[in-house]
């Protein structure tokens, strides 16, 4: 059943749609996520865009399956790859998920391979990040003294533990350690950049996890990504240029078929992770990211009041 609520804070007012008995899990889908809106995640019980202080979010869908429910958001659009990673409204999306009650986010992304111990079609739960982005909005706390937050561990350890258990239950091989380099895009990286990233300890390279994971931490939401590895990055393996196709020759046809197969498993993987973690109380650091500011009396428990908005939306 739909529950329409009104919220008002910091000089703005908006209407949201939440769901009764919502499980407090949210999923952010990467490339191709729109393909799973036809029923693979279960019964859809509602959907809408949510107005936030940072613009309107991507549509948030609500699904019920196997006695639990969760929210789902397609990061890049719902008709194809409509929004490149550089131009995703990350702040609106994370705010919207917080607004509907999400406490945990599982996100998927398809980076390229730098470290050749990985292969195309592998799954990876990354353990660290290097930020190579340039022009993105990183924080909810612009022009404020908030957000001085430790970033180790980078991702929620409790949620990662649930993901490990789920992958083992499904008997799906997965790497559990690797450094994700996040670049600005939308262009792919140069060979020299990839060599630099390798020297800096990077294992894979993509464009989507930053600032998404940092914004989730600011709003005390657990966040964990699952990577499916799509291609070897520029210069890692010798690949001839191929006109008019995805990656322009950096991904071979048999590799594309392998990637398609691993993408199809995401609904099963996501549901198993949520099933595994569903009854767990949060005992991670994520839920207390802003505790220092609360204890000092700088902010209160009303998270909407943490953000100062100059203009009404």
**Is 88:41 a contact under the CB 8 Å cutoff?**
no
**Is 269:167 a contact under the CB 8 Å cutoff?**
yes
Q: How many CB atoms lie within 10 A of CB 199?
A: 8
Q: Is 242 helix (H, G, I), strand (E, B) or coil?
A: coil
Average pLDDT, the chain: 89
Strands 204-206 and 179-183: parallel
- Cis preceding-peptide flag for 211 (omega within 30 of 0): yes
Q: What is the mean pLDDT of residues 158-162?
A: 97
pLDDT at site 312: 44
**Is 261:254 a contact under the CB 8 Å cutoff?**
no
Tokens for 108, please give them.
């998927």
Strands 51-52 and 55-56: antiparallel
Whole-number Å distance between alpha carbons of 90 and 212: 6
**Is 226:267 a contact under the CB 8 Å cutoff?**
no
Q: What is the mean pLDDT of residues 198-206?
A: 98
Return the residue matching tokens 């993509």: 206
pTM for the model: 0.90
Q: Is the pLDDT of residue 41 over 90?
A: no
- Cis preceding-peptide flag for 153 (omega within 30 of 0): yes
Q: Is the pLDDT of residue 12 over 80?
A: no
- Cis preceding-peptide flag for 209 (omega within 30 of 0): no
CATH superfamily of 2-306: Nucleoside phosphorylase domain (3.40.50.1580)
Strands 222-228 and 12-19: unpaired
Whole-number Å distance between alpha carbons of 205 and 156: 20
pLDDT single digits (tens) 71-97: 999 999 888 888 999 999 999 999 999
Q: What is the mean pLDDT of residues 27-48?
A: 83
Estimate the crossing angle of helix 266-277 against helix 253-264, to 10 degrees. 40
The fraction of the chain above a pLDDT of 90, given in percent, is: 72
- CA distances to 42, 179, 185, 229, 236 from 198, rounded to whole Å, are 40, 10, 18, 16, 10
Among the residue ranges 39-48, 137-146, 169-178, the one predicted with the least confidence is 39-48
Q: Is the pLDDT of residue 142 over 80?
A: yes
pLDDT at site 7: 40
Under the banding of pLDDT at 50, 70 and 90, the label for residue 298 is very high
Q: Is the pLDDT of residue 13 over 60?
A: no
Estimate the crossing angle of helix 266-277 against helix 157-169, to 10 degrees. 120
Return the residue matching tokens 């240029």: 241
Closest CA to 30 of 167, 206, 166: 206
pLDDT at site 31: 78
The fraction of the chain above a pLDDT of 70, given in percent, is: 91
pLDDT at site 87: 96
Among the residue ranges 1-15, 21-35, 164-178, 205-219, the one predicted with the least confidence is 1-15
Among the residue ranges 21-35, 112-126, 215-229, 272-286, the one predicted with the least confidence is 21-35
pLDDT at site 310: 60
């Amino acid at each position: 059943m739909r529950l329409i609520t009104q919220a008002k804070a910091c000089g703005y007012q908006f209407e949201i749609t939440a769901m009764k008995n919502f499980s407090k899990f949210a999923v952010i889908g990467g490339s191709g996520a729109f393909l799973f809106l036809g029923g693979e995640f279960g019964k859809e019980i509602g959907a809408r865009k949510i107005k936030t202080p940072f613009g309107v979010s991507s549509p948030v869908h609500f699904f019920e399956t196997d006695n639990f429910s969760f929210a789902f958001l397609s990061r890049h659009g719902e008709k194809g790859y409509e929004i490149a990673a550089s131009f995703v409204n990350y702040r609106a999306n994370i705010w919207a998920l917080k607004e509907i009650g999400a406490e945990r986010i599982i996100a998927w992304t398809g980076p390229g391979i730098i470290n050749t111990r990985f292969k195309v079609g592998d799954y990876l739960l990354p353990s660290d990040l290097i930020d190579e982005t340039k022009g993105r909005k990183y924080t909810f706390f612009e022009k404020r003294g908030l957000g001085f937050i430790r970033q180790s561990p980078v991702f929620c350890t409790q949620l990662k533990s649930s993901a490990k258990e789920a992958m083992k239950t499904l008997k799906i091989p997965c790497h559990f350690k690797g450094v994700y380099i996040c670049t600005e895009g939308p262009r792919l990286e140069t060979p020299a950049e990839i060599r630099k990233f390798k020297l800096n300890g990077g294992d894979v390279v993509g464009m989507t996890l930053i600032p998404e994971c940092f914004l989730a931490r600011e709003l005390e939401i657990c966040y964990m990504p699952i990577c499916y590895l799509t291609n070897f990055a520029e210069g890692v393996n010798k690949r001839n240029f191929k006109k008019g196709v995805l990656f322009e020759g950096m991904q071979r046809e048999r590799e594309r078929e392998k990637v398609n197969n691993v993408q199809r498993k995401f609904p099963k993987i996501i549901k198993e992770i949520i099933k595994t973690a569903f009854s767990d109380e949060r005992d991670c650091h994520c839920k207390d990211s802003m505790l220092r500011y609360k204890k000092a009396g700088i902010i209160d428990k009303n998270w909407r009041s943490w953000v100062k908005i100059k203009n009404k939306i």
